[in-house]
Chain A
Amino acid sequence: MPTVKTFKPPKSLSGKEFTYCPGCQHGIVHRLIAEIIDELGIQERTIMVAPVGCSVFAYEFFDVDGTVAAHGRAPAVATGMKRSLKDSVVFTYQGDGDLAAIGTAEIVHAANRGEKITAIFINNAIYGMTGGQMAPTTLLGMKTSTSPYGRAAENDGYPIHVCELLKETGGVAYLERTTVNTPQEIRKTKKALKKAFTAQLEGLGFSLVEVLSTCPTNWGMSPVEATEWLEENMKKEYKVGLFVDKVGDEK
Chain B
Amino acid sequence: MADKTMVKGNEAMAEAAIRAGCRLYFGYPITPQSEFTEYMAKRLPEVGGSFLQSESEVSAVNMVYGAACTGRRVLTSTSGPGFSLMQEGMSYIAGAELPSVFVNVVRGGPGLGDIQPAQSDYFQATKGGGHGDYHAVVLAPGTIQEAVELVHDAFDIADKYRTPVIILADGMLGQMMEPVVFGEFRNLESLSDHLSWSLTGAKNREPHKVTSFNIDPYELEKMNMRYQEKYKKIIANEILYETSNMEDADFALVGFGTMGRILGSVIRRAREEGIKVGLFRPVTLWPFPYDALREAVADKKFVLDVEMSTGQMIEDVRLAVGDSLPVHFYGRTGGVVPNPDEVLRVLKERIEEVK
Answer yes or no: B7 CB below 8 A from chain A CBs.
no
The range of chain A's interface size is: 35 or more
Roughly how many angstroms separate A46 CA and B203 CA in the complex, as a whole number?
10
Answer yes or no: A81 CB below 8 A from chain B CBs.
yes
Q: Which residue of B lies closest to A71 (CB)?
A: B88
Answer yes or no: A211 CB below 8 A from chain B CBs.
no
Answer yes or no: A59 CB below 8 A from chain B CBs.
yes
Roughly how many angstroms separate A106 CA and B64 CA in the complex, as a whole number?
14
Answer yes or no: B5 CB below 8 A from chain A CBs.
no
A81-140 interface (Cβ within 8 A of B): 81-85, 88-89, 105-106, 108-109
Interface string of B181-223 (1 = CB under 8 A from A): 0000000000000000001111110011111110000000000
Whether A47 and B201, one on each chain, are in contact in the complex, defined by CB atoms closer than 8 angstroms, is yes
**A81: B residues at CB distance < 8 A:** 66-67, 69-70, 199
Whether A70 and B62, one on each chain, are in contact in the complex, defined by CB atoms closer than 8 angstroms, is yes
A23-62 interface (Cβ within 8 A of B): 43-47, 49, 56, 59-60, 62
Roughly how many angstroms separate A45 CA and B208 CA in the complex, as a whole number?
12
Whether A44 and B209, one on each chain, are in contact in the complex, defined by CB atoms closer than 8 angstroms, is no
Whether B199 and A106, one on each chain, are in contact in the complex, defined by CB atoms closer than 8 angstroms, is no
Roughly how many angstroms separate A165 CA and B37 CA in the complex, as a whole number?
30
Answer yes or no: B24 CB below 8 A from chain A CBs.
yes
Whether A45 and B203, one on each chain, are in contact in the complex, defined by CB atoms closer than 8 angstroms, is yes
**Shortest Cβ distance from residue B90 to the other chain A in the assembled complex, whole angstroms:** 10
Whether B63 and A79, one on each chain, are in contact in the complex, defined by CB atoms closer than 8 angstroms, is yes
Whether A84 and B24, one on each chain, are in contact in the complex, defined by CB atoms closer than 8 angstroms, is yes
Answer yes or no: B50 CB below 8 A from chain A CBs.
yes
Whether A105 and B59, one on each chain, are in contact in the complex, defined by CB atoms closer than 8 angstroms, is yes
Q: Specify which of B26, B72, B89, B202 is in contact with A64 (CB 8 Å cutoff).
A: B202
Roughly how many angstroms separate A67 CA and B62 CA in the complex, as a whole number?
12
Answer yes or no: A248 CB below 8 A from chain B CBs.
no
Answer yes or no: B56 CB below 8 A from chain A CBs.
yes
Whether B200 and A80, one on each chain, are in contact in the complex, defined by CB atoms closer than 8 angstroms, is no
Roughly how many angstroms separate A26 CA and B334 CA in the complex, as a whole number?
51
Answer yes or no: A63 CB below 8 A from chain B CBs.
yes
Q: Specify which of A59, A65, A70 is in contact with B92 (CB 8 Å cutoff).
A: A70
Q: Specify which of A56, A60, A65, A76 is in contact with B63 (CB 8 Å cutoff).
A: A76
Q: Specify which of A59, A60, A84 is in contact with B66 (CB 8 Å cutoff).
A: A84
Whether A80 and B55, one on each chain, are in contact in the complex, defined by CB atoms closer than 8 angstroms, is no
B77-108 interface (Cβ within 8 A of A): 88-89, 92, 96
Answer yes or no: B52 CB below 8 A from chain A CBs.
yes
**B60: A residues at CB distance < 8 A:** 76
Whether A69 and B62, one on each chain, are in contact in the complex, defined by CB atoms closer than 8 angstroms, is yes
Q: Which residue of A lies closest to B98 (CB)?
A: A67
Answer yes or no: B285 CB below 8 A from chain A CBs.
no
Roughly how many angstroms separate A204 CA and B63 CA in the complex, as a whole number?
21
Answer yes or no: B41 CB below 8 A from chain A CBs.
no
Answer yes or no: A77 CB below 8 A from chain B CBs.
yes
**Shortest Cβ distance from residue A59 to the other chain B in the assembled complex, whole angstroms:** 6
Roughly how many angstroms separate A78 CA and B72 CA in the complex, as a whole number?
14
Roughly how many angstroms separate A199 CA and B262 CA in the complex, as a whole number?
57
Q: Specify which of A68, A73, A84 is in contact with B89 (CB 8 Å cutoff).
A: A73
Roughly how many angstroms separate A231 CA and B342 CA in the complex, as a whole number?
75
Whether B201 and A45, one on each chain, are in contact in the complex, defined by CB atoms closer than 8 angstroms, is yes
Whether B64 and A47, one on each chain, are in contact in the complex, defined by CB atoms closer than 8 angstroms, is no
Whether A65 and B68, one on each chain, are in contact in the complex, defined by CB atoms closer than 8 angstroms, is no
Whether A106 and B59, one on each chain, are in contact in the complex, defined by CB atoms closer than 8 angstroms, is yes
Q: Which residue of A lies closest to B70 (CB)?
A: A84
Known contacts A65-B207, A81-B199; A109 and B63 CB within 8 A of each other: no
Point out residues on A near B: beta carbons under 8 Å: 14, 43-47, 49, 56, 59-60, 62-70, 73, 76-85, 88-89, 105-106, 108-109
- A68-B211, A73-B58 provided; 12 other pairs, C-beta below 8 A? A14-B207, A44-B202, A47-B199, A65-B209, A66-B199, A70-B62, A73-B65, A80-B63, A81-B67, A84-B67, A84-B70, A105-B59
Point out residues on B near A: beta carbons under 8 Å: 24, 26, 50, 52, 54-56, 58-60, 62-70, 72, 74, 88-89, 92, 96, 199-204, 207-213
Could you give 11 example pairs across A and B, Cβ below 8 Å? A46-B201, A47-B69, A65-B209, A68-B211, A69-B92, A76-B66, A77-B65, A80-B63, A81-B70, A84-B50, A84-B72
